[in-house]
Amino acid sequence: MPIEIERKFLVAKADWKLKINKETLIKQGYLSSKPERSVRVRIAGEKGIITIKGKTIKTTRAEYEYEIPLVDAINLMDLCEKPLIEKTRYNVLENGNLWEVDVFEGDNKGLTVAEIELESEEQEFVLPKWIGQEVSHENRYYNASLIKHPFITW
């Protein structure tokens, strides 16, 4: 079974901006946003993607992700729960690791979260100096939660 092992952190400083190697505009919506399973449709740049995720246990969950025709992703957005998530994802290489920094817009403007995907829950890594508090176990930072309780309402 494909799995995702991910840790999330708030971003404390803007130093990460000096190490950006890729930038992607993302619009995504949820066909299902239940904690035990979510089904997400994403438009990332010019790609359509559908993702099914299982319940998170510690920092691990099942994840199935497939590219779909862009026109299908655009049409599926109409079926998604509202509001949609809008963000820019920046890929940042730091200490030999790929970090994805999401800068949210719309109802989640002002929120910036950094994520790192790991090979195992025990994998060690060096935290960049621009990383702040870990929020891996705080559900409100999951994108599926942000559609129900946007950052602007906190």
69-86 tens-digit pLDDT = 999 999 999 999 999 999
Is beta strand 3-11 parallel, antiparallel or unpaired with respect to 112-117? antiparallel
pLDDT at residue number 1? 75
Range of the domain at 148: 3-153
**Predicted confidence (pLDDT) at residue 119 exceeds the cutoff of 80:** yes
Segment 23-37 shows an average pLDDT of 95
Out of 30, 66, 90, 142, pick the active-site residue.
30
| One-letter amino acid for residue 151 of the chain | F
CATH of the domain at 78: 2.40.320.10
**Predicted confidence (pLDDT) at residue 35 exceeds the cutoff of 90:** no
Segment 17-27 shows an average pLDDT of 97
For the question of residue 30 being annotated catalytic, the response is yes
Beta carbons of 11 and 116 less than 8 angstroms apart: no
pLDDT at residue number 11? 98
- Categorize the per-residue pLDDT at 55 as very low, low, confident or very high, splitting at 50, 70 and 90: very high
Secondary structure of residue 22 in the 3-state scheme: strand
pLDDT at residue number 143? 95
Domain count along the chain = 1
